[in-house]
Amino acid sequence: MAVHPLTKSLPSNWQARLRNGLAQWPIYRDRARGLLLGTRAHYGLLFVVLVYALLIAIGFVYLYPLLFMLITSLKSPTDLLNPMVQWVPTEWYFGNYVRAFRVLNYPSTLLASIMVSVVPSVLQTAVCSLIGYGLARYRFPGKSLLFALILATFIIPPQNTVIPQMLTYRRLGLLGTLWSLVLPALGGQGFRSAIFILIFYQTFLSLPRVLEEAARIDGASEARVFFQIAVPTALPAYVVSVIFSIVWYWNETYLTVIFLEGGIQTLPMQLSRFVQAYQNLYPPGTVNIFDRLNEAIKLAGTFLNILPLLVMYFVLQKWFVESVERTGITGE
């Protein structure tokens, strides 16, 4: 029997092996399908690719303004005029930052911003924790009314209460000083105090009472129980509150512009009068064309404005993104 040249190189039992392989085809097919579409144990490849593509696309749209700002702020005046230069500047040009730094009067406004956001934040957090603790641990009549009023302070727009406060501060000579922000914070009426009260309420509610009871039986006073037992156990809530409060105070401009008028100049306030400040430093007409105010300088100023917060965010990132889990405001 003549052996066909093609089959000669094959093992003698090739027919059986082929049949066997074909019989196993459904298994391979199922494995491939599992890999692509997912099984109970893991997600499918197609699914993962799709989700990543979506998330990256959305992430790009999300970050687009920031990228735009960063790139534009690095463009030299010639790059700005050149329509060919869109995303990649021809050189690293930091002249915009130098000007924006001077126009913003950076060192002093930065210091003012830090002071204006840190001091009220710390006080607000301390006061809100006291109130949250009182609500979580004691039973007293009128508590539901108190909750309703706390919610109301969250909802009432600032412009409905700001003018009489401003006039009072003016009469007392406190307008333009830090006191105008510190006093409401001390009364639990600072910027978004209601949220922080609820954070502390939830936190203290979720902590076990046993330790506090034990201390009380040992004769500790209520104040001592609060400061020596409740505060240390609720430390994560304090950190979250302080950093969120700092961010919100930093970014708040409606109240700060009204209360600090004629006094402290913060970074966002200086940014909102950037054009005017620029023209004071570089009067139009006297400077050459390359020193005129352009969008690159403005965006450099904007970037300098958010830079401190960005640094803070990347350092304390974990605290920010885990904040909600740590403090548990989810609506129960």
Of 55, 57, 81, 281, which one interacts with other proteins (CB under 8 A)? 55
Q: Could you give the 3-state DSSP secondary structure of residue 43? A: strand
CA 101, 103, 109, 113 torsion: positive or negative? Answer: negative
Nearer to other proteins, 25 or 138 (CB): 138
Which is nearer to other proteins, 113 or 282 (by Cβ)?
A: 113
Name which of residues 9 to 48 contact other proteins (CB under 8 A): 40, 43, 48
DSSP conformation class of 205: H
Q: How far is the CB of 24 from other proteins (least distance, A)?
A: 28
> Distance of CA 150 to CAs 205, 214, 319, Å?
17, 31, 26
**Region 110-129 residues binding other proteins, contact defined as CB under 8 A:** 127
Q: Which of 104, 271, 277, 293 binds other proteins (CB under 8 A)?
A: 271
Minimum CB distance to other proteins, residue 10 (Å)? 44
DSSP E strand stretches across 111-237: none
Alpha carbons within 13 angstroms on the beta-carbon side of residue 127 total: 21
Minimum distance, C-beta of residue 1 to other proteins, in the bound complex (Å): 57
Query: Which residues contact residue 47 at a Cβ distance below 8 angstroms, ignoring those fewer than 6 apart?
Result: 37, 38
Could you give the angle at which helices 143-155 and 106-137 cross, rounded to 10 degrees?
Answer: 160
What one-character-per-residue DSSP string does 113-151 give?
Answer: HHHHHHHHHHHHHHHHHHHHHHHHH---TTHHHHHHHHH
Exactly one of 80, 137, 177, 292 binds other proteins (CB under 8 A); that residue is 137
Smallest distance from the beta carbon of 268 to other proteins, in angstroms? 5
Task: Please report, as residue ranges, which positions from 293 to 322 form the binding site for other proteins (by CB under 8 A).
Answer: 295, 298-299, 301-302, 305-306, 309-310, 312-313, 317, 320-321
Among 107, 164, 173, 208, binds other proteins (CB under 8 A): 164
Two tokens, residue 195: 């949220």
What is the Cα–Cα distance from 93 to 85, expressed in whole angstroms? 14
**Nearest CB to other proteins, comparing residues 17 and 224:** 224
Question: Hey, what are 216's tokens?
Answer: 């009380």
Judged by CB under 8 A, which of 18, 57, 149, 287 binds other proteins?
A: 149
Report the site for other proteins in 198-227 (rule: CB under 8 A). Answer: 222, 226
Q: Is 72 in the site for other proteins (CB under 8 A)?
A: yes
